[in-house]
Structure 1
Amino acid sequence: MKVKEVADLVGISVRTLHHYDEIGLFKPNDTTESGYRVYSKNDLATLQQILFFKELGFPLKKIKEIMESPGFDRNEALEVQRNMLLEKRRRMDDMITMINKTIKNTKGEITMSEKEKFDGFDFSHNPYEQEARDRWGDNAVDDSNEKLGKMSKVQQKELGVEFDVIYKRLATLRHQQPESNAAQEGIDEWYIYLNKVGVYSLDAFKGLGQMYVDDDRFTKNIDKYGDGLAVFMRDAMAIYADNRK
């Protein structure tokens, strides 16, 4: 199949396929005498696996590293991807159930307790754990997991409530200068919170802030609290870290 046929089959743009080719992520085995890309069935299977990884939130650079590693096994990867998607579906189902109950609660059809309002949130699984390991090493992540593991479900849910409160406050401050007293007080709360669930040096804290902007997944989730919040937090976290070194 030629590139336009593959694009139409899969539902992605020709430009995306060209980009995958340019970065070495997905190159067809053959080309025509005229230089046009020709994709085989095996190429399409590879593309499918790339899109599974992408759906799970893996950045393209990481997908390339995984699929080029000597120990990569396609069938094993499919098993892992399936399990990850099943877990993602379970969590989404929990969230949908909670949203439906919340809608009924706001309409006065049912009454939800404060605890029930947060039953769908699950902080026991960190989707960015491997990325954190890659950036800061296993010790920081293991310390965080150990702290969380010692907490009860109630304590974990309380952390979820505190997380939400901190982010909502930061969202109200995002139009101020990141070096302002109010902004720095809000970021100080965030730094203290993170060190309740892990061990973050000032350098790691600053690096985390940069990731909020570099990684679209973080940016989208953070900016749900208010457009531009991720950039504001990055700048405020950098100032906070630099002022305390």
Structure 2
Amino acid sequence: MRTVNEVSKLTGVSIRTLQYYDKIGLLIPAMRTDAGYRLYDDTALERLQQILLFRELEFPLSDIRAMLEAPDFDRKKALTQQVELLTLKKQRLEAIIEAACELIDKGDIIMGFKAFDTKTIEEYKARAKAEWGTTKEYAEYAEKTGDRSAEDEKNTANDLMKVFAEFGALREHPADSPDVQSQVKKLQRFITDNYYNCSDDMLMSLGNMYSADDEFKQNIDSAGGAGTADLVTRAISAYISSK
């Protein structure tokens, strides 16, 4: 775990910015000390890297949060897109430098303006952003969360973690026990009410992801204790199989 001061020194991101990211629900610390100090784990740092890359590409914070929280977000795919976008920016800057040097060498000559054209970059950014908005679940997610304040969004995320914490209290119970199965229904209702229609197929996909994806697993286990994510996955599987 790293303190907010340590993360600031490591990444060059100011403490005030890290505090703001927490306030708007973009980068929530893994935990807080009894005194209320923020602590960040490796999962939080990985998310911060994604945020910084998207910021370097001038994506608005609201778009970054939506993309990172999209149900089908793929970190590796996003990184590939980011590299391609950064390469386009590099090529554009090199063209501008070359044009400026040419102006110095040749004197007062009107240069071409093609180097300053950002159309290609903007078109690619639009396509990259669209990658995470093609599912009906994402569209519903965007509609349901669009009018929420940052504080509302953070409270909703905290309430979701409380649902996983309740799973954690049931870790000694069989995955197909009535109490655990009731909790699965509660999770499905919560996602439907607050994010998007959580069909049985979507619930099953989420269940597989909760234990397979390191970031999800760490967050869920942080809320409910070690083994919670695995219980949720098994409980969802039992729930779907019983239908």
Q: TM-score, normalised by structure 1?
A: 0.48
Higher RCO, 1 vs 2 (CA within 8 Å, ≥6 residues apart): 2
With normalisation by structure 2, the TM-score equals 0.48
